[in-house]
Amino acid sequence: MIIVSLLFVGYQLREANRSTQAGTIHSVTDTETRFITLAMQYADTWDRILLGESFAALPRLEIRRGVLLMSFYMIDTENRFRQFRVGTLDEASWSARASNLPLLFRSDVYSIWRGSPGAIVRSIEFLACIDKSYADMLVSDASQPIKDNSN
């Protein structure tokens, strides 16, 4: 009887884990869909971020849009980071998101966001993760040969 009970408990735990992982996938997909809608609505702003363009000379409203898009993206990224840390998001999904972060770091909007209240309220572990990724990008950029575009 004890063995049957243990098998049943094991089965329940496995099913609960599958349910949690399915909920995580649904949450990630839902958030990604909402972000894509925003990115399409403000495509010019999001493109500037992805291309690493400077926002310094742009109107305040455009800078604010960039920071808000960055905030939304980072909230979702932190959510994925936490889900990965607790084991409900697989490593490939987290690695795919983490590998995109250097694209965002190249825009000055990232630096503006990093000093904003939207960044300050993120978890210490998440901020440490993205700060390390940022530092790694800087080291990688510094080790790249300078391109000669004089021709």
pTM of the model: 0.76
pLDDT tens-digit profile, the chain (151 residues): 777 676 666 666 676 666 666 565 666 667 777 888 888 899 999 999 999 999 999 999 999 999 999 999 999 999 989 989 988 888 998 999 999 999 899 999 999 999 998 898 899 999 999 999 999 988 888 887 765 555 5
Long-range contacts made by residues 118-123, C-beta under 8 angstroms, separation at least 24?
118/67, 118/70, 118/71, 118/74, 118/75, 119/71, 119/74, 122/74, 122/75, 122/78, 123/78, 123/82
